[in-house]
Amino acid sequence: MPRSVSGVRSDAGAVLEARDSREGRGPSRVQHATIVPNERIRTVVVDDHEGIARLVANRIATLIRERDAAGERAVLGLATGSTPIGVYRELIRMHREEELSFANVITFNLDEYYPMAPDSVHSYHRFMWENLFDHVDIDRKNVHIPRGDLPRERVDEECRRYEDEIRRVGGIDFQILGIGKTGHIGFNEPGSGSDSRTRMVTLDAVTRRDAAADFFGEEYVPKEALTMGVATILEAREIAILATGEHKAFVVRRAVEGEIDVEVAATFLQSHPNTTFYVDRAAAAELTRIKTPWLVDEVQWTPDLTVRAVVWLSETSGKAILHLTQRDYAEHKMSSLVARYGTPGAVNGEVFNNLGSKIRGKSKLPRGLRTICFSPHPDDDVISMGGILRKFVENGNDMTVAYMTSGNIAVFDHDVRRYVDYTVRLARNGHGDPASAERLAKSVQDFFDRKKPGDVDIPEVLDIKRIIREAEAISGIETVGLPEEKGRFLNLPFYQTGKVKKDPIGPEDVAIVRALLDEIKPELIFVAGDLSDPHGTHRMCKEAVDLALQEYAQAGNPRPEVWLYRGAWQEWPVTEATWLVPMSQEELRLKIQAIFKHQSQKDSAPFPGSDDREFWQRVESRNKDTAGILDRLGLANYFAMEAYVVE
């Protein structure tokens, strides 16, 4: 089995840093090569997903140019999904700006749903042409994607043909993979063997749930798919597997550090001689060398690492921080930390005081500041920071809540039917024009009668869904004490596709955010730092805010303080949080009441992610859990607590 390194300074990494330097961008930091005994796949940790995209795209470009120079063709294995899109965008940029040619490139895609027409909005055929092939000079006959539109009796023949074609061109030179929450690669679900080949598979329930957002409901996700087998993947000469986001952290650790297991297909990559796992810091969070590096090797005890280590020791031993002893430290390979401070009591006291200083009740929160809360969807504000919103209002801060997208794709059709029926009944009772209401109702009803899963809504329906969410958002902020005029609806263009797949952040999106900054001139802003939402909108909204802030500062304006919040999908750990804001029982109840105002998202949200609980239930659990952690560590016993990171 190959030895693993914690981060390889490859030629691709050197090219990335050199090019970033030329373009005036800070280089993406790549961890330098270090042997990590418990990692069974070479793993490179990069600051963010954009850094991963540039690293992998550079490696592919190098391969293509090497093959061209030798008069040969590069054979690429490609993946779909949100993770590799950045790679494809970077390859398109290199084609346009650096004359990277795909004329002699042959591609094979990993998989396709079954049944699936190639022109379907959900088709991986369509995905690849929209996100890569239509934008480069590849020869159509060199593109190979499993066919999901064949009769069932021809599927086995198609799978054999696919394998034969891969062998005919000499095999795959470079294979891109993502990883699912079950550890699947391609659609090789739990139970897939190491000798499996291209075939029809039944999709795991977790996989179908994760895909529900793309299909507007789990019930519409196909139950089967065609996929390359594990053996087919392992025959590629080089493999790059990519993972980003907090929600991938546990499966990354399982794939990299766990035993090879037929239930986790990604672990088979441990036997491949040239596989590299590219992960951002969020996806790397559970790796031993990231989470508990003192268990792997000698460490430099920085203040942040000291806090993380002592909190981990307290939770592992089940003791409050101030009760930790020399023996506790010694048994968990942390004697060097005690030696640095002199005594266990000194370490304990340092960390105890550090955590205590993070607690900010209403009296310690800002007063009289111009403040903007940027909310990606029209409910993230109250879900994630409903408690501090109320406290900021009570402290006399001038608070504006800016809803960045309409959130209209996350409204069920049955809600639209109900509101249209209400409008018609209202008009019939003398409160509006009955003829106009009837025309609207007929247009909506006719569309719903012919609508198929995944179809883009007509403008009237999109408008109704947007208005539903706007009305709910205003009701939500009024619950925490903000008047209607403090809610602003930016309706950024990148979101206005009517589909789950959004456009990239563009200049128009940035200009809208910048205009609000120019108008309000905020001294403090809140931004969603929750990157695990199932459709990626939070990440894209943060990108728009970051770019607008750059322009705002470059124009000579003072940069506002940025507080990052989470909550809809997970909470900041107490070790990472800058501020911990306690809530009383009454304040948590008020926050939940504000969440209840978003009735279109209650009971069963269209895009719940992997957590089946309602948003208010997740909030109640997470806010109480954060307070409970402090209690177990031996600090104050609060009822509930929100966490924030100052960027």
Q: Which of 39, 112, 158, 189 is catalytic?
A: 189
- Burial of 319 per CB tally in 10 Å (0-12, 13-18, 19+): middle
Query: Catalytic site residue 257?
Result: no
The percent of the chain in helix, strand and coil, each rounded to the nearest 5, is: 50, 15, 40
Is the link from the previous residue into 115 a cis peptide, with omega within 30 of 0? yes
> Between vectors from CA 39 to CA 38 and to CA 40, what angle results, nearest 5°?
110
- Angle of helix 459-479 relative to helix 380-394, nearest 10 degrees, comes to 30
In this structure, the chain runs to a length of: 647
What phi and psi, each to the nearest 5 degrees, are found at residue 173?
-80, -45
> Is the CA virtual torsion 589, 412, 538, 378 positive or negative?
negative
Which letter does DSSP use for residue 134 in this model?
G
What phi and psi, each to the nearest 5 degrees, are found at residue 84?
-80, -5
Structure tokens at 462: 């999109």
What amino acid is encoded at 184 in this protein? H
- For residue 55, give the nearest of 75, 35, 29, 78 by alpha carbon: 29
- For residue 263, give the nearest of 359, 140, 379, 181 by alpha carbon: 181
Q: How far apart are CA 77 and CA 61, in angstroms?
A: 14
What three-state secondary structure class fits 37?
A: coil
Q: How many CB atoms lie within 10 A of CB 261?
A: 14
Q: How far apart are CA 434 and CA 424, in angstroms?
A: 7
DSSP string, 581-613: EEE-HHHHHHHHHHHHT-GGGSSS-S--TT--S
Q: Which residues of 518-541 are buried (b: 16+ CB within 10 A; e: fewer)?
A: eebebbbbbbbbbbbbbbbbbbbb
Pairing of strands 105-109, 74-78: parallel
Q: List, in order, residues 6 or more apart from 455 with CB less than 8 Å away.
A: 121
> Where would I find the beta strands (DSSP E) of 446-578?
487-489, 524-528, 561-565
Q: Which residues are catalytic?
A: 189
